Amino acid sequence: MRGWRLPLALGRSSRAWRGRVSRVKTPIAGIVLAGGLSSRMGRDKAMLPWQGRTLLEHMRGTLRLAGADRVWVSGRYPAFGGVPDQITRCGPLGGLYSVAMQMPDGPAWVVPVDTPRLTPELLQQLRERHRGACTIFDGHPLPMLFNVGNEGRTILETMIHDPLGPRSLQALQHRLDAQTLRLAHADEGALVNCNTPTQWEDVAS
C-alpha cells in the first residue's frame, strides 16, 4: 500500500508549488528621470550629495529596495548607463520617451531624481493597486507606475513629435486615463522635490 502514497504526495506537492508560482509578482523595472537642465538649482541635481552618495545613486537604490529588477536612467550619465534624450528640451516627457524606446515591455516605476524622501513603501503601494496603463498618487505626476508597451510608446511618440501639443507628464497621464490613488497626509512630505537651492536646504535639513 505504501507504493500508492507517492502519487498522492506528489500531487499535493505539485499543487503547493503551483500556488507559490501563481503568487510570484510580475517583474518590474525602474526609471530615474535625471536629464533635466537643473537651471533653477544652478548645478546638476543628480550629483547633489545625499546621505553619503549622490541623489542619482540614492534614487536608484530606492527603486531597487522597492523591487526593481533593473533601473534605467534618463540623461547623459555614462557611469550609470544613462540614456540621453533623443529630442532635447522636452522635459521629463522627453526623458521617459527616450528610455521607453530602448527598454523591454513591462511595468516600470518612474521617479524624478530630486525626491530623496520617496520611500520604497510608497512605490509598493502603486504596484499593489496598479490597474490599467498608468497609476499615480492624486495631485502628484510622479512617482508613476507606467506600463511600457506599444500603446504607451505610440502615445509618447505622438506627443513628442507634435510641436503644438502639450509635452508634459500630466498630459500623458490624461491620455492614458491614469488611475489615481489617495495619498495619506503623513506621506505628502515624501514627495517633495528639490528644484531650487532653498528647497534643497529645506529637504536636506
DSSP string, 92-141: HHHHHHHHHTTSPSEEEEEEETT-TT--HHHHHHHHHT--TTEEEETTEE
Domain carrying residue 147: 25-204
Question: Whole-angstrom Cα distance, residue 40 to residue 194?
Answer: 10
Does residue 62 contact residue 119 with C-beta atoms inside 8 Å? yes
Question: What's the number of domains the chain is made of?
Answer: 1
Sequence-ordered list of residues with C-beta below 8 angstroms from that of 49, at least 6 positions apart, any chain:
55
- Provide the pLDDT for residue 205: 81
- Segments of the chain with pLDDT less than 70: 1-24, 37-39
Q: Which residue has the cell 509598493?
A: 124
- Looking up residue 47, the CATH number of its domain turns out to be 3.90.550.10
What is the three-class DSSP state of 179? strand
Residue 98 lies in a domain: yes
Residue 8 lies in a domain: no
- List the grid coordinates of 109: 516605476
Residue 15 lies in a domain: no
AA identity, residue 174: H
